[in-house]
Amino acid sequence: MGNPVTHFEICGSDAEKTRSFYSDLFDWKYEIHDEMNYAMVGPQGDRGIGGGIMGSMPDVKPYVSFYVEVDDLQATLDKAEKLGGKAIVPPTSIGESGAIAMFLDIDGNPIGLWASAAK
């Protein structure tokens, strides 16, 4: 079995407008984490996955991405680069829950990686 997609992320040019757009469009409910101005969107009932909506950061264009759960962030970044991708965010701890990393695929799409601390 392959690695599962566990999270999506939407980064818009204006966090509040982006959250309002998706909330109004899909009736998504979200909870804002003030320290990061990151809105967490939960799964919709027993279907789909949760995700996050945020505003863009300096030198980062708006994007849509998804996160794939892996056992080893650095090994996966290395493999992505060997296959023609480019690492853009090194393994980075996200509190006690786990860590993330990101790379650009061969077409320049940002793809996230997630490693749970619970393993």
DSSP state of 44: B
Position with higher pLDDT, 55 vs 59: 55
Can 1-64 and 70-119 be said to share one CATH topology?
Answer: yes
Question: What is the token pair recorded at 84?
Answer: 């023609």
Fold of the 1-64 domain: 2,3-Dihydroxybiphenyl 1,2-Dioxygenase; domain 1 (3.10.180)
DSSP E strands, the chain: 5-12, 30-33, 38-41, 51-55, 63-69, 86-94, 98-104, 110-116
Total-model pTM: 0.88
For the chain, the structural domain boundaries read 1-64, 70-119
pLDDT in tens, 77-106: 999 999 999 999 999 999 899 999 999 999
At residue 119 the predicted structure's pLDDT band, cuts being 50, 70 and 90, is low
For 15, the enclosing helix (H) or strand (E) is helix 15-26
Q: Give the contacts of 59 (CB within 8 A, at least 6 positions apart).
A: none
DSSP E strands, 46-105: 51-55, 63-69, 86-94, 98-104
pLDDT in tens, 27-40: 999 999 877 789 99
The reported pLDDT for the residue numbered 20 is 95
CATH 3.10.180.10 at 70-119, yes or no: yes
